[in-house]
Amino acid sequence: MSTQGESVALRPLELLAALDRERVYYVVIGAFAALVHGSGLSTNAIDITPSLREMNMEPLRRALAELGAERADGRPLVVERETLQAETVTRLRTQAGPLTLVPLPAGTRGGYDDLRRQATREPLGGGLRPPIASLPDVVRSLAALGREEDLPRLLRLRRLMELERTLQRRREPEREWERDQGLDLGL
Q: Which residue ranges make up each domain of the chain?
A: 12-149
pLDDT of residue 3: 46
- Assign 1 a pLDDT band (cuts: 50, 70, 90): very low
> Cα torsion for 53, 64, 28, 122, to the nearest 10°?
-110
Q: What is the DSSP string of 81-134?
A: HHHHHH-S-EEEE-TTS-EEE-SS-TT-SSTHHHHHTT-EE---BTTB--EE--
Task: Tell me the pLDDT tens digit for each residue of 124-174.
Answer: 998 999 999 998 888 888 777 777 877 778 777 778 778 777 777 666 666
Q: Strands 131-132 and 90-93, how do they pair?
A: unpaired
Q: How many Å apart are CA 56 and CA 58, to the nearest integer?
A: 6
Q: How many Å apart are CA 45 and CA 9, to the nearest integer?
A: 9
Phi and psi at 14, nearest 5°, equal -65, -45
Let me know how long the chain is.
187
Task: Tell me the pLDDT tens digit for each residue of 71-125.
Answer: 999 999 999 999 999 999 999 999 999 999 999 998 888 899 999 999 999 999 9
Q: Strands 70-71 and 90-93, how do they pair?
A: antiparallel
Which CATH number is associated with domain 12-149?
A: 3.30.460
The answer, as to whether pTM is greater than 0.75, is yes
Q: Cα angle at 167 between 161 and 170, to 5 degrees?
A: 145
What kind and span of H or E run contains 47?
strand 46-50
pLDDT of residue 73: 95
Burial 38-65 (b: 16+ CB within 10 A, else e): ebebebebbbbbbbbeeebbebbbbbbe
